[in-house]
Amino acid sequence: MTDDFKIFAQPGNADPIQRVLLAGITGYLGGFIALELQKRGYYVRAIGRHLERLKRRPICADEAIEVDLTKPDTLEHCCKNVDTVISTVGITRQKDGLSYKDVDYQANMNLLQQAIHDNVKSLSMFLF
Ligand SMILES: NC(=O)c1ccc[n+]([C@@H]2O[C@H](COP(=O)([O-])OP(=O)(O)OC[C@H]3O[C@@H](n4cnc5c(N)ncnc54)[C@H](OP(=O)(O)O)[C@@H]3O)[C@@H](O)[C@H]2O)c1
């Protein structure tokens, strides 16, 4: 876990109404971040490209929305009413015929642009 994350989520300092959008919860890093956010009392909205995968996780986000980050038109509502956006989306073992540029760069850029459009207060934790 990075120092930035510790600054963002000081023990005992979590505001329960802080709402976090987390992309990548079905992955290794995203799963740990979700657990930590929940432990500290944050409201977690999970987004992912397969709703059934989001529901299969042992970690229960407060809400889950199916979104394909490679398709900007599916992102329209995902950043509404969140304070912070965190993304750990990236290709590791996925074999979808997509390139690192498509996912690590462009998919995250699509989410970043949507978050800026929706005036999300904190993008400082946006991870690539
Ligand atoms: N783990 C580490 O120690 C570590 C260290 C340094 C850097 N990183 C980098 O951090 C990122 C995340 O690592 P990780 O270990 O958590 O990887 P991971 O377990 O493979 O998780 C990747 C996440 O990205 C999502 N994703 C992949 N392709 C996608 C696409 N086309 N559209 C939407 N979502 C997509 C996956 O969703 P699906 O479930 O839908 O596939 C999953 O939630 C990677 O870029 C990795 O290189 C990881």
Q: Which atom of ligand 1 is nearest to the CA of 49?
A: 40
The structural domain count of the chain equals 1
Cα 107 to middle of ligand 1, angstroms:
12
The whole domain housing 88 covers: 14-117
Q: Is residue 26 part of a domain?
A: yes
Hey, whose CA ends up nearest to atom 2 of ligand 1? 29
Q: Is residue 125 part of a domain?
A: no
Task: Please write the tens of the pLDDT for every residue from 3-24.
Answer: 333 333 444 454 556 899 999 9
83 lines ligand 1 (CB under 6 A): no
Q: Is residue 65 part of a domain?
A: yes
100 lines ligand 1 (CB under 6 A): no
CATH code where residue 103 lies:
3.40.50.720
Q: Do 46 and 54 touch, CB atoms closer than 8 A?
A: yes
Closest residue by Cα to residue 36 from 65, 5, 64, 15:
5
> What are the structure tokens assigned to 93, written together?
């073992």
Task: Please write the tens of the pLDDT for every residue from 32-78.
Answer: 999 999 889 999 999 999 998 888 767 679 999 999 999 999 999 89
Question: Whole-prediction pTM value?
Answer: 0.87
* Per-residue model confidence (pLDDT) at position 95: 86
